[in-house]
Every structure is written in C-alpha cells, then in structure tokens.
C-alpha cells in the first residue's frame, strides 16, 4: 500500500496570458535608467521609501552600457521600504552569483541592492535577483517539523522529529549496515553545510550513497573539465568577456538563465570591437536572436556538429601545432575522428546547413581570442560529456586558454553547485581529490581524525543520484534523506519517482523551506531556514567566492541546514579516533576554516580566505592563498594542467562507454601536466522518433522562474510574468495539427502526458519544448503539467547526468 498523499491547497491563479512579456519585447533595449515603481503593489510588503531603479520584468537586462575592457557599474535596487541596515550577501538564484546587499527593516527583508564594486555583476541584478527575496516572507513557509501519523503529516516538535530520525538511522545501520541509508542533497545550500554533511555521511554514518541534485545539473561540467584538464574548476574569468573577439554558446540560453552575464555580453556587442557571437540551440531563443550565426541542430546531435567544426578548423590549418605539441596529448585521434565529419555529412545528421557550419568554423578558426560557454543543451542531451569535451578541444587545438579573452566555461547552473562538488557531490572527492589516490584519502582521514576504513568508498566514487533512487526502488536503500531539492518534480519519469517515494518500506526525510511535492510524500519534514536567514559562503561559475550573512531570523522554528546537521551529529554522538566529537566546529566560520585547510595546495585553494576578508571586500576568486592573496583570475596561464598522476582528480574515462581508465594505465602514460584532447564519435540517441511518437521533445527554463518554482512561484511579479506551462511547437507542426496559438494540446511520451496551451514558433520543425518549472503544489495536485512526467530514466555514461533534453513524443489537439 503506498503512503497517502497529502493534498495541496489550490491557489487561485493569475489570469494573465501565459505568453511572457519578454517574448513580446525581446530585443527592445531600454535607455532609461530609472523607471517608475511599477509592480510594487504586488509585493508582499509596501511602505515608504520604496525604490526601484528599473523594471526588470519588462526590461530584463536593463539599459546598455557599451564597453570594451572594463564593465561599468550600474546599481540595481528594488526595496519596498527604506531599510534600517544593509547586510552583505549574493544572489542564490543561479550560478552567476551576483553580489548584493540585503535591505532589512524591523527584522524583515525589504529588498535588495546590487553591489557596484563586485567583479561579477558590477551592481546589476536580474528579475529573479531583484524579486526572489520575497519568497522568504511567504506565509506558507514551513515553521515546524512534521511527522507522518495515520497517513497524514502532523506538526511535531524538533525533539520528536530528530529522535525519530536517529532511531531509524540506528536501527537500520545496526540491523542492515549503513548501506541502507541514502542522502540526496542540493546545489543550493552553503559550503559550510555541504562540508558538515560530507563528514557526517562519510565518517559519521559511513554510507556511499550520497549525491547532490547537481548530478542533474552540472555533473557533466565537472566531468568535462576533469577529462580534459585533470580537475574540476572553470579556468576562465568573467573579465574574459570584456575583451574577447568571439563568443561561442552551445546549449546555453544565457539571456534567460544568466541574465546579468548576458547584459555584459550585450554591452560588449554594442561597444567598440564587438565580439562575434555564435549560438547553437535547436530553438530560436532570445540568445539565438542576438547571434551572428545561429546553428539549430537536431536535438541530440551536438557531437557530430562539434566534430564538423573541428574537422573544418583542422583541414583549414587553423590549429596551433607548436602549442599543442608542448601542452597536449591526443590530437591525432581527434584528427582521425573529426575527419569523418564533412560539412555535408554534418548537414545530413544535424540539419545544420553546410555553409553555416563553414562560417562558424571560420570564426572559431581565426579569432584571436574566444570565450565558449556550455550548458544544459549539452549536459542533459545525448553524449553529454563527449560533446562538452569537444568544446574544450576547440580551445586546445587553438591554444586559446589561460589568457585574457580566452576561456572555456563549462558553466554551472545552481548558485552553489561549485561548492557541493568541492564537498563530494557528482562523484567527486572533497577538495577535488582522487578516490583512487590512497594519499588523498589518507589526507582526508587524517584531517578528520578518523580511521582510513571509516571511509565507505573504497577506490570508487559514491553512488550517483539515479542509482540511489534505483536502490530505493529495489528496496536496498530504506531511508532517504532529501535536502534542498524537489525530486518529485525535477527527476525524470515522475510517475516512477512518486511510486518510489511512496513505498511503505522507504523512510523519507525532506528538509525544505516549503511543503513541496516531495515533502508531501515524506515521513518526516524538517523546516529549513533559507538564504538571508543563515550565514555561509558560496562560489560562482568563475570561481568567485562570496559570503552571505544572516540578515533576519528564520520563521517559526525553522533552522538552518547547518544547525540541523550539527544537531543530528550530536544526537548520534559521532566520534573521531580519539573518541572526541567528530564535528569540531559549532558555527559556519569554524566549518569554513576547517574546510579551507583541506584545500591547501589543491586547485580550489581557499586557504587565503577568511570570513573577515570576504566581509570587508567583495567577491574573491579561488585559488586564494599565500601566493595569490587576492585570488587568481585564470587557471593554466602557463599551459600546465592538473593532469599529473599524483595531482589529478580521476584517471579518466572512455567517453563513449564510460569505462574508467585504470590507475596503472594512466600512470604508465602520465601526461604530467599536458591537457587531454579526447576524441568521440557520434552515437545516435537511444529514443528516436518513430511512427507512434514522431516528434522530439526537449525541456528547459524560462527567465522568470527558478526550477520547481518553490521560490519564484511565490513571488507575485514573477509568477504573473509566466503563470502557466506551455508547449512550444513550430509553425509547420502547428499547421499540421490545425493548431492556433494558445489552443490546448496533449503531449505524450511512453512515460506520461502533459496538457498545455500551444505556443507557436521559434523552434525547429519536429521539435517540442516544455519548460520544466511547473509542478503541482499550486495546481490542485494535477500531475498533467510537469515536463518530467514525460522524460526518460537514462543518463550519460561518464557523468551519470540524466537526459532531460530529448524524448520521442506525440501531440494531439484537445
């Protein structure tokens, strides 16, 4: 018998048309710097001293500041009352990590203001950054723990909830071993919380089953960096955008998903020496519309497309032979593989016209500097790591890395994805150490003062997220602690995920600020403090570290994740090898100081950072140490990469099969600091259109919403800007189905169905797109709205990242 579902209350929805205001006014660029306060009537708190420097809902990126070399300041602010004080923080609604200060009055957040001095955003904020804080004060925040009793979730005290969890943990580890316990955490907590959780899971409970939702997000970014350069960590700096001659974006809708970085790009494009822009996306996104060259490949064909580009670059002699000889290994294999991809063959497989490919290859082959960005259209598509690595190859064959204006960004998505990876998510080991390097494991064991055999992982990385859910399905995992993520909406194939979470023999703990779709299926719900209600640090996609100070108290009895973990460790009485408490710190600063010692000498070296330094200045990049006290802008400036056998993070994989390269084999051919050029040939996606399901479905994001909308769905202005799901379909396909814009359709795959209004245009024929934001917490529990009802349970062989970006689908008019 499945557990009963707690039904959510239905909320009245806004009657605004689902078409985004932004889609209508895409390229209009405002030149006014101050606009009237337009949407404050929908803010939860209203009062005197309100200030809105610009309307980011109507004008997403704000006015242009054409530039070359140095991006000017523009301080964006949205406050609904004059604050009593400002508290230093940064935005946690994407990986850009824009610096901001939180305005506080009478113990409440009343707004935010960008910080002009900061290297990341120079004061700018986007729509989510300016509005998102309103979710903190949403009336339906969780304020007390909940325990499932007689089928329903009932309020309980912290002692009751924690005692129940401790009892369950003890019972399971004594009866069946700790391998019955799994953790599924987040890319949205703070560094100090991940670090505490890592030691709690590894050396406290000793379970190998711990992963972050970053497995769905940037596991491929991490793996692509590791496969090519030896360790995780993006080599470039955002200042590279300020001087580069060309930008290549693949599977990345930056205008919508990193709006402030996109402002930086637009400002370059309107300034002197504008960089060329190439965008690869099967949809004509706002990003693609700005491009000089838009390549729109069939979904799942990134590898042939990239091989085609590399082939042309090589054939045209646009390669830096001398640099490659000195700094790389593997070029011959790349030459052989890419040779098979003539422009005509690429056109046949990807649908991209051969001449467009040639034009793009000419830019990539001749530009003097190049910044590339890669994101979910690669990471969640077929052959994810294989494709992402080919983008690294474009830089390696031209030697365009480690100098101003040249960088490859294997982008992050979530605000604190970098930190969860630095603490062991996505199959990594703390501080980018190597599971197969005994010296690294010993170093951690020593730092934690625990026995080597305390470590649950013996030479192999921890269990990946989809495998954790598989074990829960099969019954070998019996307790699953879910922290800061909403898998009942964000994992693929939701009917299956609901079935797993509802299993009688799976004890589910959900730690969140709201009663999410996942929380509704839990046995215990722990109310968490949000950003603004706790202190910690986090690192963005260009390695910039910010501190976020506690500005207000959490509501009711909600507690920070940090405090919840410390409480659990104390109740479990975890000890080190001297029988002293395992966790040596009592506050986030203590955790930070302990962590940073472990990073000393590693690529992500935090040893030169302190809370004081981060609080006095603004963002500082890692590595930050004695040699680079103010951080280091670019990695690999000397062309020496992190690949030497004793330093690297893994020994690498076969990009097609995922098979791991053995330590012996790696050591025998130790590249000693040379980067890997790894080739990969095309493999067609597993699920292709057929007679029953003739179309290809992809999924992704909208500018106004963040993920499963637990925050942005509770912010009136953001919710109203994009209140409902839709299905994007080409003019051709709409005509075939006799569809007018806004008419309801059903999209079906072999896994489920979604009903939504059609939105016609800006997508390749044969393709469909559904934003994945819309779950059912505010929809009377109607499951026919979440994109993941439709997606596939399968993943990349190297990064184990799920394939959210394609599925064979059919459409019927309702």
The count of residues interacting with ligand SF4 (CB under 6 A) is: 14
Q: Which is nearer to ligand SF4, 266 or 524 (CB)?
A: 266
Q: For helices 465-474 and 494-501, what crossing angle results, to 10°?
A: 60
Stretch that binds ligand SF4, among 88-96, 151-159, 480-488, 626-634 (CB under 6 A): 88-96
Q: Which is nearer to ligand MGD, 595 or 806 (CB)?
A: 806
* Token digits of residue 55: 């309307």
**Considering CB distances under 5 to 8 angstroms, the limit depending on partner class, which of Mo ion, ligand MGD, ligand SF4, none binds residue 52?**
none
Q: Where in 42-71 is the site for ligand MGD (CB under 6 A)?
A: none
**Environment class of 15 (CB within 10 Å of its CB; exposed 0-12, middle 13-18, buried 19+):** exposed
Q: Which is nearer to ligand SF4, 95 or 206 (CB)?
A: 95
Is residue 387 involved in binding ligand SF4 (CB under 6 A)? no
* Token digits of residue 567: 């409480």
CB of 703 to Mo ion, least distance (A): 15
State the binding string over 186-225 for ligand MGD (x if CB under 6 A, else -). Answer: xxxx-----------------------x--xx--------
Stretch that binds ligand SF4, among 63-71, 255-263, 596-604, 776-784 (CB under 6 A): 255-263
Is residue 598 involved in binding Mo ion (CB under 5 A)? no
Is residue 490 involved in binding ligand MGD (CB under 6 A)? yes
Contact 511, 200 (CB under 8 A): no
Please name every residue paired with 211 in a beta bridge, in sequence order, or none if there are none.
184
Closest-by-Cβ residue to ligand MGD is: 413
**Considering CB distances under 5 to 8 angstroms, the limit depending on partner class, which of ligand MGD, Mo ion, ligand SF4, none binds residue 125?**
ligand SF4
Which is it for strands 807-813 and 181-185: parallel, antiparallel or unpaired? unpaired
Question: What one-character DSSP code corresponds to residue 14?
Answer: P
CB of 735 to ligand SF4, least distance (A): 37
CB of 605 to ligand MGD, least distance (A): 25
Nearest to 689 by CA among 746, 763, 766: 766
H-run or E-run covering 693: none
Is residue 255 involved in binding ligand MGD (CB under 6 A)? no
Give how far Cα 317 sits from Cα of 312, 320, 336, 362, 397, Å: 8, 9, 15, 11, 10
Q: Where in 295-324 is the site for ligand MGD (CB under 6 A)?
A: 297, 299-300, 302
CB of 93 to ligand SF4, least distance (A): 4
Q: Which is nearer to ligand SF4, 125 or 361 (CB)?
A: 125
CB of 192 to Mo ion, least distance (A): 21
CB of 466 to ligand MGD, least distance (A): 12
Give 25's contacts (C-beta < 8 A, 6+ positions apart): 58, 59
Contact 764, 342 (CB under 8 A): no
DSSP helix/strand/coil, 437: coil
Stretch that binds ligand MGD, among 68-76, 158-166, 281-289, 579-587 (CB under 6 A): 281-289
**Considering CB distances under 5 to 8 angstroms, the limit depending on partner class, which of Mo ion, ligand SF4, ligand MGD, none binds residue 805?**
ligand MGD
CB of 615 to ligand MGD, least distance (A): 20
Is residue 652 involved in binding Mo ion (CB under 5 A)? no
Q: From CA 490, how far away is CA 788, in angstroms rounded?
A: 7
Closest-by-Cβ residue to ligand SF4 is: 129
Stretch that binds ligand SF4, among 15-23, 209-217, 253-261, 615-623 (CB under 6 A): 253-261
Q: From CA 457, how far away is CA 813, in angstroms rounded?
A: 51
CB of 564 to ligand MGD, least distance (A): 8
The count of residues interacting with Mo ion (CB under 5 A) is: 3
Is residue 255 involved in binding ligand SF4 (CB under 6 A)? no
Contact 728, 771 (CB under 8 A): no
Please name every residue paired with 696 in a beta bridge, in sequence order, or none if there are none.
767, 808
Q: Which is nearer to ligand MGD, 676 or 769 (CB)?
A: 769
DSSP helix/strand/coil, 306: helix
Rg of the chain over CA atoms, in angstroms? Answer: 25
Q: Which is nearer to ligand MGD, 215 or 678 (CB)?
A: 215
In 638-690, which ranges are continuous DSSP H helix?
Answer: 663-668
Among 22, 40, 98, 760, which residue sits at the site for ligand SF4 (rule: CB under 6 A)? 98
**Considering CB distances under 5 to 8 angstroms, the limit depending on partner class, which of ligand MGD, ligand SF4, Mo ion, none binds residue 91?**
ligand SF4
Q: What is the 3-state secondary structure of 538-587?
A: EECCCCEEEEECCCCCCCCCCECHHHHHHHHHHHHCCECCCCCECCCCCC
Q: For helices 384-398 and 302-315, what crossing angle results, to 10°?
A: 20
The count of residues interacting with ligand MGD (CB under 6 A) is: 63
CB of 513 to ligand MGD, least distance (A): 5
Is residue 135 involved in binding ligand SF4 (CB under 6 A)? no
State the binding string over 495-524 for ligand MGD (x if CB under 6 A, else -). Answer: ----------------xxxx-x--------
Is residue 413 involved in binding Mo ion (CB under 5 A)? yes
Nearest to 305 by CA among 338, 362, 344, 346: 346
Q: Give the strands of the sheet with 407-410, arranged side by side.
A: 293-295, 276-280, 246-250, 371-374, 407-410
**Considering CB distances under 5 to 8 angstroms, the limit depending on partner class, which of ligand MGD, Mo ion, ligand SF4, none binds residue 260?**
ligand SF4
Is residue 217 involved in binding Mo ion (CB under 5 A)? yes
Stretch that binds ligand MGD, among 69-77, 418-426, 450-458, 485-493 (CB under 6 A): 485-493
Cβ atoms within 10 Å, residue 18: 16
Is residue 377 involved in binding ligand MGD (CB under 6 A)? yes
Nearest to 125 by CA among 140, 103, 153: 103
Is residue 93 involved in binding ligand SF4 (CB under 6 A)? yes
CB of 37 to ligand SF4, least distance (A): 19
Omega of the bond leading into 119 within 30 degrees of 0 (cis): no
Q: Where in 46-85 is the site for ligand SF4 (CB under 6 A)?
A: none
Q: Which is nearer to ligand SF4, 122 or 559 (CB)?
A: 122
Stretch that binds ligand MGD, among 437-445, 450-458, 587-595, 783-791 (CB under 6 A): 783-791
As a 3-state breakdown, the chain gives helix, strand, coil percent values, each rounded to 5, of 35, 15, 50
Torsion angle (degrees, nearest 10) of CA 448, 454, 458, 462 = -70
Among 60, 87, 91, 397, which residue sits at the site for ligand SF4 (rule: CB under 6 A)? 91
Is residue 129 involved in binding ligand SF4 (CB under 6 A)? yes
Give how far Cα 291 sits from Cα of 27, 59, 287, 437, Å: 12, 19, 7, 45
Q: From CA 438, how far away is CA 433, in angstroms rounded?
A: 10
Q: Where in 663-702 is the site for ligand MGD (CB under 6 A)?
A: 698-701
Listed in order, strand segments (DSSP E) in 195-337 are: 210-212, 246-250, 276-280, 293-295, 328-329
Q: From CA 256, how far away is CA 242, in angstroms rounded?
A: 20
Nearest to 478 by CA among 523, 519, 447: 523
Is residue 283 involved in binding ligand MGD (CB under 6 A)? yes
Is residue 427 involved in binding Mo ion (CB under 5 A)? no
Is residue 805 involved in binding ligand MGD (CB under 6 A)? yes
Q: From CA 166, how far away is CA 182, in angstroms rounded?
A: 14
Q: Which residues bind ligand MGD (CB under 6 A)?
A: 94, 128, 186-189, 213, 216-217, 250-253, 256-257, 280-283, 285, 297, 299-300, 302, 375-377, 380-381, 413-414, 483-487, 490, 511-514, 516, 528, 530-531, 561, 698-701, 703, 705-708, 710, 769, 772, 787-788, 791, 804-805
Q: Which residues in this chain contact Mo ion in the complex, by CB under 5 A?
A: 217, 413-414
């Amino acid at each position: 018998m499945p557990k009963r579902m707690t039904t959510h209350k239905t909320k009245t929805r806004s009657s605004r048309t689902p078409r985004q205001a932004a889609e209508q006014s895409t390229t209009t660029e405002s030149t006014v710097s101050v606009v009237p306060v337009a949407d404050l009537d929908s803010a939860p708190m209203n009062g005197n001293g309100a200030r809105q420097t610009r309307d980011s809902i109507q004008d997403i990126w704000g006015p242009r500041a054409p530039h070359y070399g140095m991006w000017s300041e523009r301080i964006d602010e949205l406050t609904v009352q004059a604050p009593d004080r400002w508290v230093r923080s940064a935005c946690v609604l994407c990986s850009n990590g824009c610096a901001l200060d939180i305005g506080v009055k009478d113990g409440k957040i009343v707004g935010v203001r960008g910080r002009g001095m900061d290297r990341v955003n120079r004061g700018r904020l986007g729509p989510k950054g300016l509005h998102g804080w309103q979710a903190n004060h949403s009336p339906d925040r969780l304020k007390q723990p909940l325990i499932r009793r007689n089928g329903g979730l009932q309020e309980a005290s912290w002692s009751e909830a924690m005692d129940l969890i401790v009892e369950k943990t003890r019972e399971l580890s004594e009866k069946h071993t700790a391998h019955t316990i799994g953790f599924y955490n987040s890319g949205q907590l703070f560094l100090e919380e991940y670090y505490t959780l890592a030691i709690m899971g590894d050396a406290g409970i000793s379970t190998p089953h711990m992963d972050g939702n970053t497995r769905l997000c940037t596991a491929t970014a991490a793996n692509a960096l590791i496969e090519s350069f030896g360790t995780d960590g993006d080599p470039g700096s955002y200042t590279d955008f300020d001087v580069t001659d060309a930008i290549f974006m693949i599977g990345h809708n930056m205008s919508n998903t990193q709006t402030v970085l996109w402002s930086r790009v637009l400002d370059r494009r309107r300034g002197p020496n504008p960089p060329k822009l190439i965008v690869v996306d099967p949809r004509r996104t706002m990003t693609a519309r700005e491009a000089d060259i838009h390549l729109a490949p069939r979904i799942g064909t990134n590898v042939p497309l990239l091989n085609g580009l590399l082939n042309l670059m090589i054939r045209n002699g646009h390669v830096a032979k001398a640099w490659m000889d000195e700094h790389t290994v593997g070029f011959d294999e790349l030459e052989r593989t890419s040779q098979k991809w003539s422009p005509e063959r690429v056109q046949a497989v990807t649908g991209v016209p051969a001449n467009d490919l040639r034009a793009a290859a000419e830019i990539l082959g001749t530009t003097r500097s190049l910044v590339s960005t890669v994101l979910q259209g690669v990471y969640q598509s077929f052959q994810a790591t294989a494709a992402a690595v080919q983008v690294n190859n474009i830089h390696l064959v031209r030697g365009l890395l480690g100098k101003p204006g040249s960088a490859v960004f294997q982008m992050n998505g979530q605000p604190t994805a970098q930190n969860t990876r630095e603490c062991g998510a996505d199959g990594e080991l703390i501080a980018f150490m190597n599971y197969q390097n005994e010296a690294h494991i010993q170093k951690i064991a020593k730092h934690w003062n625990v026995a080597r055999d305390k470590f649950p992982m013996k030479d192999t990385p921890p269990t990946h997220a989809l495998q954790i859910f598989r074990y829960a399905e099969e019954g070998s995992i019996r307790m699953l602690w879910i922290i800061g993520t909403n898998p009942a909406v964000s994992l693929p194939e939701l009917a299956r995920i609901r079935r797993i979470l509802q299993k009688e023999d799976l004890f589910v703990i959900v730690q969140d600020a709201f009663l999410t779709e996942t929380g509704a299926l839990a046995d215990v719900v722990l109310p968490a403090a949000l950003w603004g209600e706790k202190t910690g640090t986090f690192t963005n996609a260009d390695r910039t570290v910010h501190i976020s100070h506690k500005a207000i108290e959490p509501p009711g009895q909600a507690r920070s994740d940090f405090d919840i973990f410390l409480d659990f460790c104390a109740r479990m009485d975890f000890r080190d090898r001297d029988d002293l408490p395992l966790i040596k710190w009592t506050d986030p600063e203590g955790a930070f100081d302990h962590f940073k010692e472990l990073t000393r000498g590693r690529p992500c070296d935090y040893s030169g950072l302190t809370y004081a330094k981060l609080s006095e200045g603004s963002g500082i990049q890692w590595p930050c140490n004695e040699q680079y006290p103010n951080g280091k802008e670019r990695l690999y400036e000397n062309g020496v990469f992190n690949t030497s056998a004793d330093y690297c993070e893994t020994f690498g994989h076969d990009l097609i099969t995922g098979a791991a390269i053995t330590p012996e084999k790696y050591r025998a051919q130790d590249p000693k600091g040379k980067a890997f050029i790894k080739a990969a040939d095309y493999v067609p996606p597993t699920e292709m259109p057929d007679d029953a399901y003739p179309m290809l479905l992809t999924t992704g994001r909208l500018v106004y919403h963040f993920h499963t909308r637990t925050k942005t769905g509770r912010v009136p202005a953001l919710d109203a800007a994009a209140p409902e799901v839709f299905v994007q379909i080409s003019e051709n396909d709409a005509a075939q189905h006799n569809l007018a814009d806004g008419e309801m359709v059903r999209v079906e795959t072999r896994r489920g169905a979604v009903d939504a209004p059609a939105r016609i245009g800006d997508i390749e024929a044969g393709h469909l797109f559904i934003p994945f934001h819309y779950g059912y917490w505010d929809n009377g529990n109607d499951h026919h709205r979440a994109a993941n009802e439709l997606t596939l349970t399968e993943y990349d062989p190297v990064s184990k990242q799920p394939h959210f970006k394609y599925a064979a689908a059919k459409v019927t008019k309702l």
